[in-house]
Structure 1
Amino acid sequence: MIVDLLLILRSLFEEHLQALNLQEQLRIHLYEIARERDPFFATAGHFFVQEYIGQELAQWGSVEIHTFVVRGKTCNNLILNLSSQTIGKHQDLSPILIGAHYDAVPGTPGADDNATGVAVLLELARKFAAEPAKYPLRLVAFDMEEYGLLGSAEYAGLLHQQQQSLRLMISLEMLGYCNSTPGSQAYPRPLEKFYPNQGDFIALIGNLRTIRDLISLSRNIRKAGLPSQWLPVPNRGLIVPQTRLSDHAPFWDLGYPAIMVTDTAFLRNPNYHKPSDNIASLDLDFLTSVCQGLEQGIRRLA
């Protein structure tokens, strides 16, 4: 009995220590990424963050650069491919693409939008490089999201042209703002009738092809101790335009199964696209739980 109790306590301590280590890693990434980095008006910051992401991903494999041109400027999506578990039956599975945009609008350090998404992307790369998932993973840092989802549209179009199938696309879009005050969460009508009015959950929004994955990912995020809500949307999200405001939308448009993971952006965070979108405004416990839940959820996708 005492031995069993000691084993349980040891396991709980190790889990707590792992969470603290993960939170510190996320904090380090945030302090490197959260800076002005508009690709036209803050080119030094944009270049610095691009280099930082490339160096971090390169620890785990060869980083592919997908280039495209906008207004005469060469832009870069950064891509890391991670192999699946080495069991033979898994070798031909289509990859799961996990993406996050690294550009920001002028005049903001973009801590929540979208340094949080990139920080989680980098930590997922570290975790899945050390212990591969069932599916091969493709981790993509998208450029030019704030100018109309241009990086993800270019890349989705390339995959479609190459007839590349995807098991799932997951867009990490603002993951670190939490407010448990009643009335802190807004919605496009009439969703307020069906979802909580306090902004203390992470939202999963997918097209109809992803309903099983929405349920599975949401369940695993809740197991990590974080409330989670999910929403399936028909017709590429056109009926609720707010559901299309990230890098999953070009994948919806081309028929891919895709999910946005988000703290709901301007529907909750008053710092959206403002100078006040800084690290001090974030809840790092919340962000850490999102990362933990996503890792476990991705590992358990059927």
Structure 2
Amino acid sequence: MSSPMKTLLLSLFTYLLSAPILWASNTDTVQLHKHVLSLTTTNKARNHQNLQELNQAADYIKAEFTKLQGNVTEQVYKVNGTDYRNIILSSGPANAPLLVVGAHYDVCGNQPGADDNASGVAGLLEVARLLQNHTLPFRVDFVAYTLEEPPYFRTANMGSYVHAKSLAEQKAQVLGMVSLEMIGYFKEEKGTQRYPIAPMKLVYGSRGNYIAVVQRFGNGKFGRSFLRGFNQAATLPVKSLKAPAAIPGVDFSDHLNYWYFGFSALMITDTSFYRNTNYHQPGDTIYTLDFARMARVVDGVYQTILSLRI
């Protein structure tokens, strides 16, 4: 065999060893990119003060939901005399047990909010699209929340608080809730993953290359079932954290309000500021997101919901 041929074969062999494993994806990365781009390119940041841009984001989400099968509604409520809107797509029998999948569409301050949380909203829209042609034994409400960010975080003005309270008042049979909170930022380098408690690095590692499923203790059957399914379905590393809500970060999203009303809820996240140094900064742009791995997260959520037996 000639030397050039040996070199070519060696190069090919080396590539095959190092190339990423291909997987059959249902998720459309073009759609994910489109959604994030639409949400992050408003004239001003989509925060509680810029009502025109916040409503522009809500209108975009509503238009995307309207393309799908199901009932699209707005949950409008007032804060200091101003109307804010949760956008909801309900799919499945109205009286069936309910699964809630949610993500907030507002941002904190004056920044694009690509990972926080256009990534979660894009994932929400894509999961809704993927599930539209499936008949499930439960109803799914896909909810885009407003006012998750400061100054309304941990108040009754959060969109997720308003939604969770309405379910409690209806005495709805809620199977569980899944919060998609920052799902697009990944890093392979050592030292790119931080933790609220230093020894956690010994368990979870220092590379920010995984997606986390975060729950509190006592989260019930739904949490166990979803985690088991997600571990089987996901095609990227999954790490689970079940801890007291007092651990910083465990309750840092919309799922906390479902806990407040006694519902089982969990968060799927790239771990937010423990990994993404652009958190709540102007640098949180679309160019920092890994859409290939983000698609794997969305695919995992979709496949898990299909497999749920509760």
TM-score normalised by L of structure 2: 0.84
Instruction: Please say which structure displays the higher CA radius of gyration.
Output: 2
Q: 1-side partners of 2:205 and 2:153: how far apart?
A: 30
The one-letter code matched in structure 2 to 1:120 is G
In the alignment, what sits opposite 1:95? 98
SS in 2 for 1:186: coil
Q: 1-side partners of 2:23 and 2:261: how far apart?
A: 43
Task: After TM superposition, give the deviation of residue 23 of structure 1 in Å.
Answer: 0.5
1:115 is the counterpart of 2:123: no
The one-letter code matched in structure 2 to 1:148 is F
**Aligned equivalent of 1:229, options 230, 239, 249:** 239
Task: After TM superposition, give the deviation of residue 62 of structure 1 in Å.
Answer: 2.6
1:48-92: CA deviation from partner (whole Å, max 9, x where unpaired): 1110001111122331111111122111111111016xxxxxx96
Q: 2-side partners of 1:201 and 1:133: how far apart?
A: 29
Q: Do 1:221 and 1:227's aligned partners in 2 also have CA atoms closer than 8 Å?
A: no
In the alignment, what sits opposite 1:30? 36
The one-letter code matched in structure 1 to 2:242 is P
**What are the residue-to-residue correspondences of 1:1-302 with 2, within 5 Å?**
15=24, 18-19=26-27, 22-35=28-41, 36-40=45-49, 42-60=50-68, 61-83=70-92, 93-146=96-149, 147-148=152-153, 150-189=158-197, 190-207=199-216, 208=218, 209=220, 210-222=222-234, 225-234=235-244, 237=245, 239-302=246-309
1:202-252: CA deviation from partner (whole Å, max 9, x where unpaired): 000123214413532431343xx2101111234xx1x21321110000111
Alignment RMSD: 2.0
More divergent stretch after superposition (146-155 vs 210-219): 210-219
Distance change in 2, residues 1:151/1:47 (3 Å):
same
Q: Do 2:194 and 2:275's aligned partners in 1 also have CA atoms closer than 8 Å?
A: yes
SS in 1 for 2:132: helix
Q: Do 1:204 and 1:214's aligned partners in 2 also have CA atoms closer than 8 Å?
A: no
The one-letter code matched in structure 1 to 2:63 is Q
Q: 2-side partners of 1:217 and 1:186: how far apart?
A: 26
SS in 2 for 1:285: helix
TM-score normalised by L of structure 1: 0.86
Distance change in 2, residues 1:137/1:117 (3 Å):
same
The one-letter code matched in structure 1 to 2:173 is S
Q: Do 2:175 and 2:264's aligned partners in 1 also have CA atoms closer than 8 Å?
A: yes
More helix by share: 1
Kindly tell me the number of residue pairs found equivalent between the two proteins: 276
Q: Do 2:223 and 2:264's aligned partners in 1 also have CA atoms closer than 8 Å?
A: no
Q: 2-side partners of 1:137 and 1:211: how far apart?
A: 16
Task: After TM superposition, give the deviation of residue 183 of structure 1 in Å.
Answer: 1.2
Q: Do 1:184 and 1:197's aligned partners in 2 also have CA atoms closer than 8 Å?
A: yes
Which segments of 5 or more consecutive residues in structure 1 lack a partner in the other structure?
A: 1-11, 85-90
* Identical residues among aligned pairs (%): 33
